[in-house]
């Protein structure tokens, strides 16, 4: 490899490495966000299920058949 070619390769390598690194960082951030979103969705589902269970329990306790 000639003296000049080494510099050209170095310059292009730095440019594309940094741009790809930025894309990788953005990709990592995106996966973190999607993980958090999944967690929140699961939490919402669980809350909804808890609320429904509490509602059903409330209805069951207020119905005449279950009164003493």
Task: Count CB-CB contacts under 10 A for residue 44.
Answer: 10
Q: Is 52 in the site for another protein (CB under 8 A)?
A: no
Q: Is 28 in the site for another protein (CB under 8 A)?
A: no
Dist. CA 66–CA 60, nearest whole Å = 7
Of the listed pieces 10-18, 50-58, 60-68, which binds another protein according to CB under 8 A?
A: 10-18
**Cα dihedral sign, 15-16-21-23:** positive
Q: Is 42 in the site for another protein (CB under 8 A)?
A: no
**Helical ranges in 1-68 per DSSP H:** 3-62
Contacts with another protein by CB under 8 A lie at 2-5, 7-8, 10-12, 14-15, 18-19, 22, 26, 29-30, 33, 36-37, 40, 43-44, 47
């Amino acid at each position: 490899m000639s003296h000049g070619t080494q510099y050209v390769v170095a310059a292009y390598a730095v440019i594309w490495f940094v741009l790809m690194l930025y894309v990788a960082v953005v990709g990592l951030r995106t996966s973190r966000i999607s993980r958090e979103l999944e967690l929140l969705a699961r939490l919402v589902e669980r809350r909804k299920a808890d609320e429904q269970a509490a509602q059903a329990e409330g209805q069951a306790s207020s119905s005449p058949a279950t009164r003493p």
